[in-house]
Amino acid sequence: MEGIELISFQIISAVGTARSMYIEAIQAAKAERFDEAAKLLEEGQELFVQGHHAHAQLIQNEANGEKTEFALLLMHAEDQLMSAEAFGILAQEFVDVYKKMKGNM
């Protein structure tokens, strides 16, 4: 596997794991494990950034004249990237709300 397929799978793997960590962070906050929630959010963000960098490489390649052919796998990777970004934002909000409800903020 190489090229667009490899990059697509790198994106999917990184941001899929990030999204799972964001969900786990919400669950940890709900159980009042706020330190664990913060760690999960941080680790999730690191993985999200890895996926974002892989995607940015594709954009940079295209800006340099390399045409990227349409691929359903890449479209799926981009969808997962956007989904993970939204989950990250919402997870942070949920953790903050749970902290506030428990008087830890």
What are the extents of the domains in the chain? 3-101
CATH code assigned to 3-101: 1.20.58.80
Share of the chain above pLDDT 90, in %: 87
Please report which helix (H) or strand (E) contains residue 60, including its range.
Answer: helix 34-63
pLDDT in tens, 33-65: 999 999 999 999 999 999 999 999 999 999 999
Q: Is 52 among the residues known to form the active site?
A: no
- Euclidean distance between CA atoms 51 and 33, whole angstroms: 27
Residue 52 vs residue 69, higher pLDDT: 52
Burial group, residue 31, by CB count within 10 angstroms (0-12, 13-18, 19+): exposed
In DSSP notation, 74-100 reads HHHHHHHHHHHHHHHHHHHHHHHHHHH
Rounded Cα gap, residues 84 and 93, in angstroms: 14
User: Is 79 marked as a binding-site residue?
Assistant: yes
